Amino acid sequence: MTPTNLSLEHLIRPATQSSTEAPVLFMLHGYGSNEEDLFSFASELPEELFIISVRAPYDLEPYGHAWYAINFDADQGKWSDDEQAIASRDKIIAFIEEACNAYKLNSENVSLLGFSQGTILSYAVALSYPEKIKNVVALSGYINEKILLEGFQAKDHSKLNFYCSHGQVDAVIPVEWAQLAPEFLSNLGIENTYEEFPVGHGVAPQNFYAFKDWLKNKI
């Protein structure tokens, strides 16, 4: 029976072999989307993974959800609500613990897969709480240092692995922002792979197969 009292709405695909102590992959969607978006990848991902696709906590009108508000202001231009982002960061880490307990999953083998705003949160969660996360697939996002836990640099990040990718003609998040990630991660002692693909703000088929193979080797 699916637990109904967890703090964030979500979809699940149980691991086919055994759901007890299975490695788990949490999916974090982009701004304005929902938990069904990345879940479309689930049937193609390794069967030994228990997959949980999470709905962001802030509702948007007329539909869709967000991890934090993006405001459009004539004077300031486009800016992110970092306070909401930090709140979501901590909601995600709490939900990971809840879900691992509720579904009896392996809390030592937790992976995140994010897209766009979901990637920004995946970076924030993993870099702030490296003791809780093993692998991160970071698609079409960037590191926002303002939403990282204060003092995160002092933590041990050596067990983390990152796969980062970006579209070369992304008009939503500039590729130059994503290109800063490898050096940032390497400076923390984090093993990382970075790739670019000839697409906009989306996931090309070759990008999907690349991160799928990477994930297979890391779980």
Q: Is residue 18 over pLDDT 90?
A: no
CA distance 28 to 5: 19
Please compute, for residue 143, the number of CA atoms within 13 A of its CA located in the half-sphere on the CB side: 17
Q: Which two tokens stand for residue 169?
A: 């003609």
Which residues in the chain belong to E strands, given as ranges? 10-13, 24-28, 50-54, 58-59, 65-66, 70-73, 77-80, 110-115, 135-139, 161-167, 191-197
| Averaged pLDDT for residues 9-13 | 95
Confidence of residue 79 (pLDDT cuts 50, 70, 90): confident
pLDDT over 70 percentage in the chain: 95
Q: Are 33 and 119 in contact (CB under 8 A)?
A: no
- Give alpha helix (H) positions in the chain: 36-39, 82-102, 117-128, 175-178, 181-187, 205-218
CA distance 57 to 68: 8
DSSP assignment letter at 167: E
pLDDT digits (tens, 9 = 90+) for 151-187: 999 999 999 999 999 999 999 999 999 999 999 999 9
Which CATH number does the domain 10-218 belong to among 3.40.190.10, 3.40.50.1820, 3.30.420.10, 3.30.1490.20? 3.40.50.1820
Domain borders along the chain are: 10-218
Residue 1 has a pLDDT of 39
Q: Which residue has the tokens 């002092």?
A: 154
| Averaged pLDDT for residues 211-218 | 96
pLDDT digits (tens, 9 = 90+) for 86-99: 999 999 999 999 99
Its sign, for the CA torsion 204, 196, 28, 218, is: positive
